[in-house]
Amino acid sequence: MFQVPNMLFALPEMVLLTMACVILLVVAFTGARKIEWVYGLSQLSLALTLLVVLWSLGDWGLTFSDTYIKDALSDLLKVFICVVNMLVLLYSVNYLKARQLMQGEFFVLAVFSTLGMLIMVSAYHMLTLYLGLELMSLCLYAMVAMQRDSAVATEAAMKYFILGSIASGMLLYGMSIIYGVTGSLAINEIALAIANTDGNETILSFGIVFLVIGIGFKFGAVPFHMWLPDVYHGAPTAMTLFIAAAPKIAAFAMIIRLLAEGLIDLQNHWQDMLVMLAVLSMILGNVVAIAQSNLKRMLAYSTISHVGFLLMGVLSGTEEGFAASLFYTLIYALMTLGAFGMILLLSRQGFEAENIDDFKGLSEREPWFALMMMILMFSMAGIPPLAGFYAKLSVIKAVIDVDLLMVALVAVVTSVIGAYYYLRIIKVMYFDKPVVEHKLEASSSMQIMLSANALMVLGLGIVPGILMKLCTIVFA
């Protein structure tokens, strides 16, 4: 008998899809003449989606034949995805205008990519998950290639697309193996089938290998990181910011749905794989970042190291570990948003503030924003009392609790190594003489929100309990 699905569970996605189609029509009929309208509609779309998510908090369950879930995890992640992407669009406007990239295509791709992220977050079936992943990824590939006259951006987009396609194939192959053994693609049915059978673990382990490869690529974990520095460096900074922040939140939802909910009874198979990914990512990311003179490449390798820390909470296999990893993901998104936002803030027409030397003497030119950048860099380094410190502490504690002491030791040592290149930025800002003198061209709204972004990182470090409690409730 056909069961009528509860459409309200997918109301945020339906609102965003409707608004995306409206934006598409506005772009088609107005072109570049009403680009401010397109920007306003994009922000309105994300704001309405956020309001719908907040309005429907607490009403949880499965719908669409158990392929779609609305739970505490999906609600929390959707709130952060909408807020982060609203800030990304705000930070990007002046940068896009100065480079003639303020085009309707950027906003259409941004909104449809956000829709893909929301679908990923609520997916409770492997095909739904793959649908959301591809919707998000295809938009990101096109976004990287938007600067058509830039050979570097085009090369970055090709690398991203080719490697992304390979990773998607790996993910699909892993899903097909798991389907062959369990007879289902639904997350809850897979978990039930694995719990009720003792055989076929060898075949399932092959499927898990391919799933982990796909997940590793989407996170940018070593040894599947080769695309990340080139894409971060080659793409225009506004696109880099979009790729760096919210998609990691969606990728976190993917790893939780697949491994922590669907394959939790096979933890002994995927834990060792994640240990290798985490350790290699922390070591390579932090060591190679030291050699970078380009800030975007440095932040790319920094991202690889942060992915290693993020995976530590997941590989612990405990509710406390999952909560710590969720907390780390959300804090990472805020820190990355602020760091790339600072590059956008200091950039102007004909000048990309993407080299470390471009931050020389920032304390003399813009003392307030030098302070904000210092907060962000200290937080990324994991220095108390900032949010990054508490995030690293919580994931290290999670692996110590399951007796993975060597992983915790690697995390501590690589954190010390990583502190060097973050402190180098602060040294350049406060102890070197400025190379260029120019006033900020960013809007006052961007300056205010970027300041609030950095101060939020400080506030969540001083009072981490509120967000940490939310993360703990999600997995309770």
pLDDT in tens, 81-136: 999 999 999 999 988 888 888 888 999 999 999 999 999 999 999 999 999 999 99
Residue 3 pLDDT grade (very low, low, confident, very high; cuts 50, 70, 90): low
Bridge partner residues of 125 (DSSP): 186
Residue 2 pLDDT grade (very low, low, confident, very high; cuts 50, 70, 90): low
Arithmetic mean of pLDDT, 244-272: 91
The mean pLDDT of the chain is 90
407 part of a folded domain = yes
* Three-state secondary-structure class, residue 149: coil
Arithmetic mean of pLDDT, 377-402: 93
**pLDDT tens string 418-447:** 999 999 999 999 998 877 667 777 788 899
**Residue 196, pLDDT score:** 82
**Is it the case that residue 148 has pLDDT exceeding 90?**
no
Structure tokens at 193: 């089938």
412 part of a folded domain = yes
Query: What is the pTM assigned to this prediction?
Result: 0.94
First to last CA, the chain: 34
Structure tokens at 84: 């982060």
- Measured at the alpha carbon of residue 318, what is the angle toward residues 315 and 322, in degrees to the nearest 5? 70
Residue 409 pLDDT grade (very low, low, confident, very high; cuts 50, 70, 90): very high
**pLDDT tens string 295-351:** 999 999 999 999 999 999 999 988 999 999 999 999 999 999 999 999 999 887 767
Q: For residues 73 and 52, what is the distance between their CA atoms, to the nearest angstrom?
A: 16
Q: Which of 149-158, 193-202, 211-220, 380-389 has the lowest mean pLDDT?
A: 193-202
Residues of the chain with pLDDT > 70, as a percent, come to: 98
1 part of a folded domain = no
- What angle do the packed helices 295-315 and 246-255 form, to 10 degrees? 20
**Residue 149, pLDDT score:** 83
Bridge partner residues of 123 (DSSP): 68
**pLDDT tens string 171-226:** 999 999 999 988 889 998 998 988 887 657 788 889 999 999 999 998 899 889 88
Arithmetic mean of pLDDT, 254-269: 90
**Is it the case that residue 377 has pLDDT exceeding 90?**
yes
151 part of a folded domain = yes
Per-range mean pLDDT, top range of 232-236, 289-293, 324-328: 324-328
33 sits in which H/E element: none
**Residue 198, pLDDT score:** 64
**Is it the case that residue 1 has pLDDT exceeding 70?**
no
Q: Are 354 and 343 in contact (CB under 8 A)?
A: yes
Q: Are 403 and 301 in contact (CB under 8 A)?
A: no
Read off the DSSP letter of residue 124.
-
**Residue 29, pLDDT score:** 87
Q: For residues 26 and 21, what is the distance between their CA atoms, to the nearest angstrom?
A: 9
Q: For residues 4 and 192, what is the distance between their CA atoms, to the nearest angstrom?
A: 24
Q: Are 120 and 64 in contact (CB under 8 A)?
A: no
Q: For residues 181 and 177, what is the distance between their CA atoms, to the nearest angstrom?
A: 6
* Three-state secondary-structure class, residue 25: helix
CA atoms within 13 A of residue 27's CA, in its CB half-sphere? 20
Read off the DSSP letter of residue 123.
B
**Is it the case that residue 393 has pLDDT exceeding 90?**
yes
Number of domains, the chain? 1
Read off the DSSP letter of residue 433.
P
**Residue 350, pLDDT score:** 66
2 part of a folded domain = no
**Residue 161, pLDDT score:** 93
Q: For residues 278 and 304, what is the distance between their CA atoms, to the nearest angstrom?
A: 9
414 part of a folded domain = yes
* Three-state secondary-structure class, residue 209: helix
**pLDDT tens string 46-71:** 999 999 999 988 778 888 888 899 99
**Residue 199, pLDDT score:** 59
Residue 146 pLDDT grade (very low, low, confident, very high; cuts 50, 70, 90): confident
Read off the DSSP letter of residue 457.
H
Residues of the chain with pLDDT > 90, as a percent, come to: 66
Domain containing residue 107? 7-475
103 part of a folded domain = yes
- What angle do the packed helices 367-381 and 444-462 form, to 10 degrees? 40
